Amino acid sequence: MQTLNVGLIGTGNIAPAYIEGCAPFDIIKITACADILAERAEAFAAEHRLIACSVGDLLARDDIDIVVNLTIPKAHAEVSLQIIKAGKHAYSEKSLAVTREDGAEILKAAKAAGLRMGCAPDTFLGGGLQTARKAIDDGLIGAPVAATAVFMAHGPESWHPNPGIFYQKGAGPLFDMGPYYLTALVHLMGPVARVSASARMSFPERIATSEALKGQRLPVEVNTHVAGTLEFASGAIASVITSFDIWGHHLPMLEIHGEDASMNIGDPNFFHGTNHILKGGTRDWVQLPHSHTINIGRGAGVADMAYAIQSGRPHRVSGDLAFHVLDIMCALEESAAQGRRIALQSTVEQPATLPVGLAAGELDM
Ligand SMILES: NC(=O)c1ccc[n+]([C@@H]2O[C@H](COP(=O)([O-])OP(=O)(O)OC[C@H]3O[C@@H](n4cnc5c(N)ncnc54)[C@H](O)[C@@H]3O)[C@@H](O)[C@H]2O)c1
């Protein structure tokens, strides 16, 4: 297949992970970058041997096929729509958008233009979550009855160079970290039908503690502790907590409990998780060997989309999947605000699993 050229918009903290994660895949090549801060794009381009452009110039280039949107969450919708309007396939960092309306507009625009819309997280393409899915599909734990998903920490103000964005509308623990856990759950257990939640904003402002920003005050616009229940279309029930208010805990990040066995899954924010299964009536957790490679990283979803564009198959890390996750997150917030269960407006098919035995740097047989 042909190599598709990729441009990046947004050259901040996460951009180097895309340079590294896309590099093993010959089907894509990052060639250019842009940022609203021109000097940032220029420095990034010099470091990684790319062409530095303005956003407008990058979108006008004939030699770019896919544009990856690595801007801050509240800019995602506007930038993704600009990419589609320019006639390029778009792939966005999570979340797809901040509101359902913006998410739906992006999908509608991409479909009308015959372009692909992809959206992170792509961590479910990693060996950890692919192995867990294969275990469920192969019947190793029986039909899933319940799951727990827990992200609890005390916020990114101790390490992130721009921590204020995590407390703005469109972020918070649910919108920032929730996509990893919710996307993993939908990949493993299928679509969600209804949700309920309670939520709170525990501190009206946060103080940055990283060396560079020490003492900077960060206003909080979002709930910082969200505890929810997801009712899947299958009837299974998941308990989900996302929090920036917790100093420490001993809870597992992700577990699926089936009719016959329980499965403990690694961190859904990464590609290399290890899974353990405890069969009903036994006492020991047994490690499951990886069925799929753990040697891939962020950007694998862009490569998967490049294969899909050329073969015509659906892409796995899709806007439709991200929209369902956005719908879940919006519904959790609405449930907490309104004190009632909320039926979801969307549904989605589980993404296809990757083939077993792929060669390094390939995603299709
Ligand atoms: N930092 C992480 O560890 C991490 C991990 C996974 C995903 N993400 C996601 O990646 C995205 C970016 O996060 P980050 O940590 O790199 O943020 P960041 O603030 O470090 O970088 C964002 C960059 O986008 C640029 N930008 C903002 N609005 C723009 C616009 N309208 N047009 C062009 N450029 C614009 C900013 O100038 C900045 O350079 C977010 O969606 C975040 O959720 C971040």
Distances in Å between the Cα of 40 and the Cα atoms of 13, 225, 277 are: 11, 33, 46
Residue nearest to atom 9 of ligand 1 (CA): 93
| Rounded distance between C-alpha atoms, residue 247 and residue 167, angstroms | 17
- Name the amino acid, one letter, at 321: L
- What is the 18 CA–ligand 1 centroid distance (Å)? 12
Distance CA(246)–CA(229), nearest Å, equals: 19
The CATH 3.30.360.10 portion of the chain extends over 124-288
Average pLDDT (187-197) is 98
Q: Are 361 and 25 spatial neighbours (Cβ–Cβ below 8 Å)?
A: yes
Domain 124-288 in CATH: superfamily? Dihydrodipicolinate Reductase; domain 2 (3.30.360.10)
The confidence band for 146, taking pLDDT boundaries of 50, 70 and 90, is: very high
The closest alpha carbon to 333, from 183, 197, 171, belongs to 197
Q: Which residue owns the Cα nearest ligand 1 atom 44?
A: 14
Per residue in 197-241, pLDDT (tens digit) is 999 999 999 999 988 899 999 999 999 999 999 999 999 999 999
Give the mean model confidence (pLDDT) for residues 269-293: 97
- Please give, one letter per residue, the 3-state secondary structure of the chain: CCCEEEEEECCCCCHHHHHHHHCCCCCEEEEEEECCCHHHHHHHHHHHCCEEECHHHHHHCCCCCEEEECCCHHHHHHHHHHHHHCCCEEEECCCCCCCHHHHHHHHHHHHHHCCCEEECCCHHHCHHHHHHHHHHHCCCCCCEEEEEEEEECCCCCCCCCCHHHHHCCCCHHHHHHHHHHHHHHHHHHCCEEEEEEEEECCCCEEECCCCCCCCCEEECCCCCEEEEEEEECCCCEEEEEEECCCCCCCCCCEEEEECCEEEEECCCCCCCCCEEEEECCCCCCEEECCCCCCCCCCCHHHHHHHHHHHHCCCCCCEHHHHHHHHHHHHHHHHHHHHCCCEECCCCCCCCCCCCCCCCCCCCCC
Paired with 275 in beta bridges are 288
What CA–CA distance (Å, rounded) separates 6 from 328? Answer: 30
Mean pLDDT of 274-302: 96
Model pLDDT for residues 41-81, shown as the tens digit of each residue: 999 999 999 999 999 999 999 999 999 999 999 999 999 99
> Phi/psi class of residue 322: alpha, beta or left (left: φ > 0; alpha: ψ in -120 to 50)?
alpha
Give residue-wise pLDDT tens across range 81-94: 999 999 999 999 99
Domain 4-123+297-316 in CATH 3.40.50.720? yes
Task: With a cut of 90, say whether residue 161 has pLDDT above it.
Answer: no
Q: Which residue has the tokens 């649910």?
A: 174
Q: Which of 59, 68, 72, 74 to mutate to test the pocket of ligand 1 (most atoms within 8 A of CB)?
A: 72
Q: Whose C-alpha lies nearest to ligand 1, atom 26?
A: 71
Convert 35-65 to b/e letters by CB count within 10 Å (16 or more is b): beeeebbbebbeebebbbbebeebbebeebb
Position in ligand 1 atom list of the atom nearest CA 171: 43
Question: Up-side HSE of residue 73: CA atoms within 13 Å toward CB?
Answer: 25
Tell me how far the alpha carbon of residue 69 lies from the centroid of ligand 1, in angstroms.
8
User: Residue 318 is which amino acid?
Assistant: S
Residue 233 CA to ligand 1 center (angstroms) comes to: 34
Q: How confident is the model at residue 162 (pLDDT cuts 50, 70, 90)?
A: confident
Domain with CATH 3.40.50.720 in the chain: 4-123+297-316
Q: What is the pLDDT of residues 94-138, one digit of tens each?
A: 999 999 999 999 999 999 999 999 999 999 999 999 999 999 999
Q: Residue 77 corresponds to which tokens in the numbers above?
A: 């919708």
Residues with a CB atom less than 6 Å from ligand 1: 9-14, 35-37, 40, 55, 70-73, 75, 79, 93-94, 162, 165, 176
What tokens does 9 get? Answer: 């918009």
Measured in angstroms, how far is the CA atom of residue 131 from the centroid of ligand 1? 30
pTM above 0.85, yes or no: yes
CA of 328 to the centre of ligand 1 (A): 23
pLDDT of 228 reads 98
Whole-number Å distance, alpha carbon 169 to ligand 1 midpoint, is 14
pLDDT at 210: 87
Distance from the alpha carbon of residue 13 to the mean position of ligand 1, in angstroms = 6
Q: Which residues pair with 90 in a beta bridge?
A: 67, 117
Across 11-19, average pLDDT: 97
Per-residue confidence at 330, pLDDT binned at 50, 70, 90?
Answer: very high
For all residues of the chain together, what is the average pLDDT? 97
pLDDT at 365: 82
In this structure, the residue with its CA closest to atom 6 of ligand 1 is 14
Calculate how far, in angstroms, residue 71's C-alpha sits from the geometric centre of ligand 1: 4
